[in-house]
């Protein structure tokens, strides 16, 4: 009954999701509610010389029209970034609505609030804004050029920060002495997150009590409240409740504190009525923080045996027009620290500069820095293998950190706690039947077919993060989490967690965890999340931290509950605590048939007629905060096999093998689902997705007609398997599974396509046309296999 | 977004629809709504009135005569895909209909709406050109037929006049020694055709090509017939070589669309590849 860990229980939340009964922010309709429509800049860069709201105010159904100045005049501060990168980081103000200038297409300029959404949208067309268009920079190289237009006057050369990590002298020396150097210029293109539920916010000020409730489709309601209260508005935290009901995906884009949240919180107080805003899909494209967007030069040196001796990396990271909540941390600490990968590289140096451009801000997107690091390393490994005439699997294997080297200190700060990389590689090769594949590939090539294979042996650092480490690297928050267990008198349990599911199935996994340890039916456990009024505190869901950090906090609370329950049981059974065993939901005096059930103990705790009231408080409820000791380090091997149509350049993925090690697994089906989704996302970057801005900063891929996200029919059946190396430092032995697929898969696919067509590199997304051109280039340079 | 405000009314007959069209400036017919509604929600289209014709059931019929298949303008893509008449007499049309968009689009979108909308990347235009269909139109001055090759004038522009309604599309039945096929290279995002080529060929008892028509969609500002390919093939045996020779360089890159989804050079190349595939299959079917 209660052996839930390791069981593929069907997701309890799916019943309501797939029958259309989820309750998302936009489903909430409050009495007397009004609707906000943002008037957004059509220019990437322009001075605002005047805003005439008169006509809009007089349109039917209009309640109010506000501009940026109204908000500034009310003493509302700009939205801060949450990560300080170096003393000199340029952090120009990011106002709720633009005040003097607009800096990207989609920047908010004014807001119309009306009785209906349609009325607000109609009236918004009558807000007259006098723009003076300014030269814009969308491209990082242009932003860095001499005399480039400045996105912010106080950020010279459009640079926000410089950052470096590792030992430059050691890396330089290692490369100078290397037997072979592989150099790679990488464009890691910009992605658009595309959560299926657009962002939505409702501000609801209660005039009678002065309480503010903010509903927002967010991955971390507590952080939103903290930023909103402590930094932006100065509202007292105890008068502000942030609720994130069901959240339909985020991929990172719903971590951040957005202007629309500040606006609705402010405007509801101004007009004394609830204010709702729900993004149109076309708004999501130009306001949700985007991801990736690096230009990188990387050099990896090898000795004559193929051992990596050094790595040097220089990256320009596009920050967009403003620094979003985690922006600076992503291309630095979440990227540079991953550059050892699975390898024993002794000397690593990385330099990153954060660049402002007139584009949508860039921040964490599924994997956040780690996909960029993995892409760089795993492409380098395949390129190096080709250049040195080595087998790509063999080259990786000989550079692996060995199981007996853990804990392993990398030259880029991290200490890997555990790992067994060869086991995952071997398992993947086995599933693929590598030797047989190589023969089939030879034969297919002889027939003129273009078949290729690509590897990716990856590591990620997740379960973020030890607060002291986070603080030391510039995060302006701690990264612990909380878990609270409320056992009701009847023995039913509510679990309150500070992490918040936006598709990961927490209601199932966390209920399994609690039911397993309390040895009660899962149906007796319910998860409560996404509400600052109910949950003590929390840092939300991202960085594959929910189970590793939030789950560990719940485990600590479980220990407290079981500890007290044991005391009550000992009293009731008139036995010593040590003489009790807890089996099948019963405390039993060992060797006897005297027992008391969990339900009876709960009832006793709340009806303490016969109770050790002198020593023990009534009730059965505990909270625990858990601060992780280290990151967790999932790893694995992904292998992709593709066939390319030589006539059209179309890529078909024939096989996709993924062996991941995410530590202990509570619900294998959910983990597989996370891995599947992650792989799909990573394949999306490799083959389909890419934000394109023109030279004026207009987003050309602003609809689903132009921006391709992968669909089921574009993807093969994934062959997923696992090795299990438990995390040694958290009580659950778990690591995190939400991002592994995305981190691992992109380079595997690019490696496979390059192998198939005999190209050194193909720019992502590898559209059919780009692959077709690569085939031609390979053929005309004579090194194609076809 | 929310569309601009508009009036809505239903027409229960073609005559009523024509009268309503006549009585209102800036009114538009609504069929499946799968081109019109998205444009209205983006506020790119702003009709003052929608005349919903989707309830005019006689326009949804699919019937066959000796010489032709008559597809009512309101036949949905799904109806065309699954029609036994179409499958038996003009199988390529059913196949192509089954490749339009996704199930929701196919359940709502109609052949008449697709042709009237004349999206340069829509599928049916290639089919009506290759199969030499005629588009039957009702208007204030009666009904008339527009041959497919006179129908598509430019981007979203057809020979349809204001106030006219497509009532039916007439496809000549395929003769015993003819065959047709459609090859589509889809845009990975929209699934519309980057290039779609429909080919029809007819052979004599010796396997000699006595007629060919190639309709191309997606490639240029409007669907067109590649008459040069048809000309090249006539009087020849349809072999891999003759087909390859006929399609080589068939499209002029200068006349191709050039956008994010494909450069004009790549589109021109895809025309040849898709034409080769469609012709090869059509020839096999003709000689089948
Ligand atoms: C997601 C998506 C994917 C799609 N993919 C494809 C694809 O792969 N291939 C493809 O070909 N199409 C595709 N389409 C378009 C689809 O086929 C449309 O249904 C079709 O283009 C329009 O038909 P409708 O009945 O929906 O017309 P409506 O949207 O109702 O009308 C379109 C236009 O035609 C006019 N009209 C409608 N009926 C008539 C008539 N009988 N006489 C005169 N004028 C009329 C209307 O006034 C309007 O101007 C896609 C659409 C969507 C939304």
Q: What distance lies between CA B276 and its chain's CA centroid?
A: 20
Q: Note whether A27 and A215 are within 8 A (CB).
A: no
Q: Is the pLDDT of residue A15 over 80?
A: yes
Residue B263 in contact with partner chain A when CB distance is under 8 A: yes
**Cα B111 to ligand 1 centroid, rounded to whole Å:** 7
Please report the domains of chain B, with CATH numbers, ordered by start residue: 7-52 (3.30.43.10), 57-172 (3.30.465.10), 178-287 (3.30.390.50)
Output the six-digit token pair for A551: 């789950």
**Cα A640 to ligand 1 centroid, rounded to whole Å:** 38
Q: Note whether A325 and A363 are within 8 A (CB).
A: yes
Q: Is the pLDDT of residue A524 over 60?
A: yes
CA distance B110 to chain A (A): 20
At A2 the pLDDT is 64
CA distance B245 to chain A (A): 15
At A785 the pLDDT is 42
* A-B C-beta contacts closer than 8 Å: 47
Q: What value does the mean pLDDT take over residues A528-546?
A: 95
Query: If pLDDT is split at 50, 70 and 90, which confidence band does A684 have?
Result: very high
For residue range A625-649, list pLDDT tens digits in order: 999 999 999 999 999 999 999 999 9
At A783 the pLDDT is 52
In B, which residues are within 8 Å of A772 by CB distance? 266, 269
At A274 the pLDDT is 98
Residues of chain A whose beta carbon is less than 8 angstroms from a beta carbon of chain B are 117-118, 121-122, 280, 282, 647-648, 650, 687-688, 692, 700-701, 704-709, 714, 767-769, 772-773
Q: Which atom of ligand 1 is nearest to the CA of B108?
A: 26
At A782 the pLDDT is 61
Nearest to A490 by CA among A413, A662, A400, A605: A605
Q: Note whether A501 and A246 are within 8 A (CB).
A: no
- Cα atoms in the 13 Å half-sphere on the side-chain side of A33: 20
Q: Note whether A251 and A503 are within 8 A (CB).
A: no
A291-464+630-780 in CATH: which number? 3.30.365.10
For residue range A186-245, list pLDDT tens digits in order: 999 999 999 999 999 999 999 999 999 999 999 999 999 999 999 999 999 999 999 999
Q: What value does the mean pLDDT take over residues A162-191?
A: 98
Q: Which atom of ligand 1 is nearest to the CA of B165?
A: 42
Query: Which of B5, B260, B263 comes nearest A692 by C-beta?
Result: B260
For residue range A407-451, list pLDDT tens digits in order: 999 999 999 999 999 999 999 999 999 999 999 999 999 999 999
| 3-state DSSP assignment of residue A39 | strand
Q: Note whether A528 and A494 are within 8 A (CB).
A: yes
| Number of CB atoms found within 10 A of residue A119's CB | 22
What is the enclosing helix (H) or strand (E) of A101?
strand A101-102
| Probe residue for ligand 1, chosen from B96, B110, B111, B163 as the CB with the greatest number of ligand atoms within 8 Å | B110
Residues ≥6 apart with Cβ < 8 Å to A104:
A41, A44, A45, A286, A320, A321, A358, A359, A360, A361, A697
Q: Is the pLDDT of residue A611 over 60?
A: yes
User: Does A688 contact B188 at a Cβ distance shorter than 8 Å?
Assistant: yes
Q: Which atom of ligand 1 is nearest to the CA of B110?
A: 25
**Cα B34 to ligand 1 centroid, rounded to whole Å:** 5
Q: Is the pLDDT of residue A138 over 50?
A: yes
pTM of the entire structure? Answer: 0.97
Q: Note whether A577 and A612 are within 8 A (CB).
A: no
Q: Is the pLDDT of residue A576 over 80?
A: yes
Residues ≥6 apart with Cβ < 8 Å to A660:
A424, A634, A635, A636, A675, A720, A721, A722, A723, A737, A740, A741, A744
Calpha distance A17→A1 (Å, rounded):
26
Q: Whose CA is nearest to atom 38 of ligand 1?
A: B113
Does domain A14-134+197-248+254-287 correspond to CATH entry 3.90.1170.50?
yes
For residue range A266-284, list pLDDT tens digits in order: 999 999 999 999 999 999 9
User: Does A769 contact B188 at a Cβ distance shorter than 8 Å?
Assistant: no
Residue B176 in contact with partner chain A when CB distance is under 8 A: no
Query: Which of B1, B2, B189 comes nearest A704 by C-beta?
Result: B189
Residue B234 in contact with partner chain A when CB distance is under 8 A: no
Segment-wise mean pLDDT, segments of 10 residues, chain B, 288 residues:
95 97 94 97 95 96 96 98 96 97 96 97 98 97 96 96 97 94 96 97 94 97 95 94 96 95 97 98 94
Distances in Å between the alpha carbon of A280 and those of A20, A108, A702, B254?
A: 20, 14, 12, 37
Output the six-digit token pair for A289: 């923080």
Calpha distance A353→A700 (Å, rounded):
26
CA distance B89 to chain A (A): 30
A291-464+630-780 and A480-626 share one fold:
yes
Q: Where are the beta strands (DSSP E) in A264-409?
A: 275-278, 291-302, 308-320, 348-356, 408-409
User: Does B188 contact A704 at a Cβ distance shorter than 8 Å?
Assistant: no
For residue range A302-360, list pLDDT tens digits in order: 999 999 999 999 999 999 999 999 999 999 999 999 999 999 999 999 999 999 999 99
- The pocket around ligand 1, CB under 6 angstroms, is made up of B 28-36, 38, 73, 100-101, 105, 108-110, 112-114, 116-117, 119, 122-124, 165-166, 191-192
Q: What is the DSSP letter of A704?
A: T
The partner residues of A62 in beta bridges, in order of sequence, read: A114
Q: What value does the mean pLDDT take over residues A111-116?
A: 98
Q: Whose CA is nearest to atom 36 of ligand 1?
A: B113
CA distance B3 to chain A (A): 8
Calpha distance A419→A423 (Å, rounded):
9
Query: Which of B2, B263, B273 comes nearest A117 by C-beta?
Result: B2
Q: Whose CA is nearest to atom 5 of ligand 1?
A: B101
In A, which residues are within 8 Å of B266 by CB distance? 768-769, 772-773
Burial class (CB within 10 angstroms; exposed 0-12, middle 13-18, buried 19+) of B151: buried
Calpha distance A329→A163 (Å, rounded):
10
Q: Is the pLDDT of residue A784 over 70?
A: no
Q: What percent of chain A has pLDDT over 70?
A: 99
At B288 the pLDDT is 83
In A, which residues are within 8 Å of B38 by CB distance? none
Calpha distance A546→A481 (Å, rounded):
9
**Cα B70 to ligand 1 centroid, rounded to whole Å:** 19
Sign of CA dihedral A337, A339, A345, A351: negative
Kindly compute the dihedral angle of the four CA atoms of residues A438, A443, A445, A451, in this order, to the nearest 10 degrees.
-50
Pick the CATH number of A480-626 from 3.30.460.20, 3.40.50.300, 1.10.3720.10, 3.30.365.10: 3.30.365.10
Q: Whose CA is nearest to atom 45 of ligand 1?
A: B113
Residue B266 in contact with partner chain A when CB distance is under 8 A: yes
Nearest to A573 by CA among A606, A612, A607: A612
Measured between CA atoms, the residue of chain B closest to residue A647 is: B273
Q: Whose CA is nearest to atom 51 of ligand 1?
A: B34
Query: If pLDDT is split at 50, 70 and 90, which confidence band does A1 have?
Result: very low
Q: What value does the mean pLDDT take over residues A466-477?
A: 90
CA distance A705 to chain B (A): 5
For residue range B83-140, list pLDDT tens digits in order: 999 999 999 999 999 999 999 999 999 999 999 999 999 999 999 999 999 999 999 9
Q: Does this complex have an ipTM over 0.90?
A: yes
Residue B227 in contact with partner chain A when CB distance is under 8 A: no
In B, which residues are within 8 Å of A773 by CB distance? 266
Distances in Å between the alpha carbon of B148 and those of A36, B66, B90, B115?
A: 48, 20, 16, 10
Residue B243 in contact with partner chain A when CB distance is under 8 A: no
User: Does B189 contact A706 at a Cβ distance shorter than 8 Å?
Assistant: yes
Q: Whose CA is nearest to atom 14 of ligand 1?
A: B101
Measured between CA atoms, the residue of chain B closest to residue A705 is: B190
Query: What are the residue boundaries of the structural domains of chain A, listed by start?
Result: 14-134+197-248+254-287, 291-464+630-780, 480-626
At A369 the pLDDT is 97
Measured between CA atoms, the residue of chain A closest to residue B2 is: A118
Q: Is the pLDDT of residue A295 over 70?
A: yes
**Cα B281 to ligand 1 centroid, rounded to whole Å:** 28
């Amino acid at each position: 009954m209660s052996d839930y860990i390791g069981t593929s229980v069907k997701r309890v939340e799916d019943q309501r999701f797939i029958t259309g009964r989820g309750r998302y922010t936009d489903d909430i309709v409050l009495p007397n509610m009004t609707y906000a429509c943002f008037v957004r800049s059509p220019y990437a860069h322009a001075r605002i010389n005047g805003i005439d709201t008169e006509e809009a105010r007089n349109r039917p159904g209009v309640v109010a029209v506000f501009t940026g100045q109204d908000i500034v005049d009310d003493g509302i501060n700009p939205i801060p970034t949450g990560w300080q990168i170096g003393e000199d980081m340029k952090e120009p103000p990011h106002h709720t609505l633009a005040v003097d200038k607009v800096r990207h297409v989609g920047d908010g300029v004014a807001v119309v609030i009306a009785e209906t959404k349609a009325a607000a949208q109609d009236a918004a067309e009558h807000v007259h804004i006098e723009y003076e268009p300014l030269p814009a920079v969308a491209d990082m190289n242009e932003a860095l050029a001499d005399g480039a237009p400045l996105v912010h006057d106080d950020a010279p050369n459009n640079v926000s920060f410089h950052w470096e990590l590792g030992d430059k002298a050691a890396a330089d020396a290692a490369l100078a002495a290397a037997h072979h150097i592989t150099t790679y210029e990488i464009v890691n293109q910009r992605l658009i997150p595309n959560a299926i539920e657009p962002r939505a916010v409702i501000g609801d000020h209660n005039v009678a009590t002065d309480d503010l409730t903010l509903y927002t489709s967010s991955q971390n309601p507590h952080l939103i409240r903290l930023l909103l209260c402590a930094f932006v508005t100065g509202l007292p935290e105890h008068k502000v409740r942030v609720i994130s009901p069901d959240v339909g995906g985020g991929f990172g884009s719903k971590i951040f504190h957005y202007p629309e949240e500040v606006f609705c919180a402010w405007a509801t107080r101004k007009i004394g009525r609830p204010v709702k805003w729900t993004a149109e899909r076309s708004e999501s494209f130009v306001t949700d923080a985007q991801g990736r967007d690096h230009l990188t030069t990387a050099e990896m040196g090898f000795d004559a045996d193929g051992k990596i001796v050094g790595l040097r990396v220089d990256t320009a990271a596009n920050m967009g027009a403003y620094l979003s909540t985690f922006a600076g941390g992503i291309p630095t600490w979440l990227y540079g620290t991953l550059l050892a990968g699975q390898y024993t590289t002794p000397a690593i140096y990385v330099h990153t500069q954060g660049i402002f451009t007139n584009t949508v801000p860039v921040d964490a997107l599924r994997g956040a820095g780690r996909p960029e690091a993995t892409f760089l390393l795993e492409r380098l490994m395949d390129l190096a293998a080709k250049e040195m005439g080595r087998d790509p699997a063999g080259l990786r294997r000989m550079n692996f950190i060995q199981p007996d080297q853990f804990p392993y200190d990398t030259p880029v700060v991290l200490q890997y706690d555990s790992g067994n990389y060869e086991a995952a590689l071997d398992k993947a090769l086995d599933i693929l039947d590598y030797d047989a594949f190589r023969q089939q590939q030879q034969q297919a090539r002889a027939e003129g077919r273009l078949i290729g294979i690509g590897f990716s042996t990856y590591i990620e650092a997740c379960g973020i993060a030890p607060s002291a480490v986070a603080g030391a690297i510039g995060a302006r928050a701690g990264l612990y989490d909380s878990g609270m267990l409320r056992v009701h008198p009847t023995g039913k349990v509510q679990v309150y967690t500070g992490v918040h599911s936006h598709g990961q199935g927490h209601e199932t996994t966390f209920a399994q965890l609690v039911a397993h340890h309390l040895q009660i039916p899962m149906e007796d456990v319910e998860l409560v999340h996404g509400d600052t009024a109910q949950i003590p505190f929390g840092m939300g869901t991202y960085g594959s931290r929910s189970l590793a950090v939030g789950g560990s906090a719940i485990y600590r609370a479980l220990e407290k509950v079981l500890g007290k329950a044991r005391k009550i049981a000992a009293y009731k059974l008139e036995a010593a605590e040590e003489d009790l065993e807890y089996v099948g939901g019963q405390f039993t005096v060992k060797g006897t048939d005297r027992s008391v059930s969990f339900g009876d103990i709960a009832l006793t705790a709340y009806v303490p007629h016969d109770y050790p009231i002198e020593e023990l408080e009534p009730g059965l409820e505990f909270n625990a905060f858990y601060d992780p000791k280290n990151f967790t380090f999932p790893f694995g091997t992904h292998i992709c096999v593709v066939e390319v149509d030589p006539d059209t350049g179309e890529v078909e993925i024939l096989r996709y093998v993924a062996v991941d090690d995410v530590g202990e697994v509570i619900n294998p089906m959910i983990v597989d689902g996370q891995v599947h989704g992650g792989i799909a996302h990573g394949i999306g970057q490799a083959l389909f997705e890419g934000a394109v801005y023109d030279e004026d900063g207009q987003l050309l891929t602003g609809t689903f007609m132009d921006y391709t996200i992968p669909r089921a029919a574009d993807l093969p059946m994934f062959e997923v398997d696992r090795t299990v190396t438990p995390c040694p430092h958290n009580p659950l032995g778990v690591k995190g599974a939400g991002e592994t697929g995305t981190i691992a898969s992109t380079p595997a696919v690019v490696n496979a396509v390059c192998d198939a067509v005999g190209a050194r590199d193909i720019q992502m997304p590898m559209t059919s046309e780009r692959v077709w051109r690569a085939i031609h280039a390979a053929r005309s340079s004579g090194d194609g296999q076809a | 977004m929310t569309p601009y405000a508009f009036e809505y009314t239903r027409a229960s007959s073609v005559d009523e629809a024509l009268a309503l069209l006549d009585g209102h400036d800036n009114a538009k017919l609504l069929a499946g709504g799968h081109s019109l509604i998205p444009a209205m929600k983006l506020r790119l289209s702003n009709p003052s009135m929608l005349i919903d014709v989707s309830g005019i059931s006689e326009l949804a019929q699919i019937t066959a005569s000796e010489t032709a298949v008559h597809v009512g303008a309101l036949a949905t893509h799904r109806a065309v895909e699954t029609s036994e008449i179409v499958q038996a007499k003009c199988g390529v049309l059913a196949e192509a209909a089954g490749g339009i968009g996704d199930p929701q689009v196919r359940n709502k979108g109609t052949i008449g709406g697709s042709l009237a909308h004349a999206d340069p990347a829509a599928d049916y235009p290639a089919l009506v050109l290759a199969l030499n269909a005629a588009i039957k139109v009702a208007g204030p001055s009666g009904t008339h037929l527009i041959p497919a090759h006179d129908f598509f004038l430019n981007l979203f522009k057809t020979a349809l006049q204001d106030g006219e309604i497509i009532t039916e599309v007439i496809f000549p039945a395929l003769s015993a020694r003819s065959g047709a096929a459609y090859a589509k290279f889809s845009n990975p995002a929209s699934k519309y055709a980057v290039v779609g080529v429909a080919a029809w060929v007819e052979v004599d008892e010796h396997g000699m090509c006595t007629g060919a028509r190639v309709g191309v969609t997606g490639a240029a500002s409007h669907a067109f017939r590649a008459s040069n390919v048809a000309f090249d093939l006539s009087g020849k045996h349809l072999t891999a070589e003759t087909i390859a020779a006929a399609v080589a360089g068939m499209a002029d890159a200068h006349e191709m669309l050039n956008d994010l989804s494909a450069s004009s050079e790549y589109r021109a190349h895809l025309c040849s590849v898709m034409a080769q595939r469609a012709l090869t299959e059509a020839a096999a079917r003709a000689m089948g």
